[in-house]
Structure 1
Amino acid sequence: MLLGMSQEKLGEHLGLTFQQVQKYEKGVNRIGASRLFDLAKVLGVPVQFFYDEAPSGAQSAGAATPGFAEQPDESYVVDFLGTREGLELNKAFARVTDPKVRRSIVELVRALAGEES
């Protein structure tokens, strides 16, 4: 009850059993991006709330090696996934089943963003 809501009440808000909420909480079942987004809305917290203890790029990569570029901070990815647009984009991309089409989409987005492959 960290945020003042029981597993049973949380399950009701999400249309889940409290047992399923327990499985998510204990890590028995993985939680999808859309469910995580719904969970954040119900609890009134940003999606990043669930990632606060995850190591940042610099921490997980260790100390920078002299002569090499530092690891970029990619926390913006988590921020983007927490938006409606990010969720929409990820849901649509997940429905693309052809690996060649998926690769083409990634290359297109990189080109539009001005990145090299």
Structure 2
Amino acid sequence: MKHPVDAHVGKRIRHRRWMVGMTQQQLAERVGIKFQQIQKYETGMNRVSASRLFEIAQAMEVPVGHFFEGCAGDAPPEEAQDILGDKEAMELVRAYYAMPENQRRRLFDLARVLSEGVA
């Protein structure tokens, strides 16, 4: 049976890997394991050891605490959890952060203006 924390950490690994455009194979190679093990971590079927989580965090350039954000009492609002599960929304976020800062600001301003007419 999956422990909720293991499932949460696995989801955060998957989301971060996806956001940086890394495949399971690439992450596995960076930490010296098989990609099937990454699959098991991401589904929460296998628990990630502290040392392995440290290596994964280094490979994806985030602090270890990143994988625990939103866990238990620190949970984000339900809407935020839904957005993380929406592939289109995640693609949009990744594309947004791939843009130079000045273009991001202009796109953000445009989106704000366009959303004012929606309610």
Structure having the higher helix fraction is 2
Which TM-score bucket, shorter chain as reference? 0.3 to 0.5
TM-score, with structure 1 as normaliser: 0.46
* TM-score, with structure 2 as normaliser: 0.45
Q: Which has the larger radius of gyration?
A: 1
Higher RCO, 1 or 2 (CA under 8 Å, sep at least 6)? 2
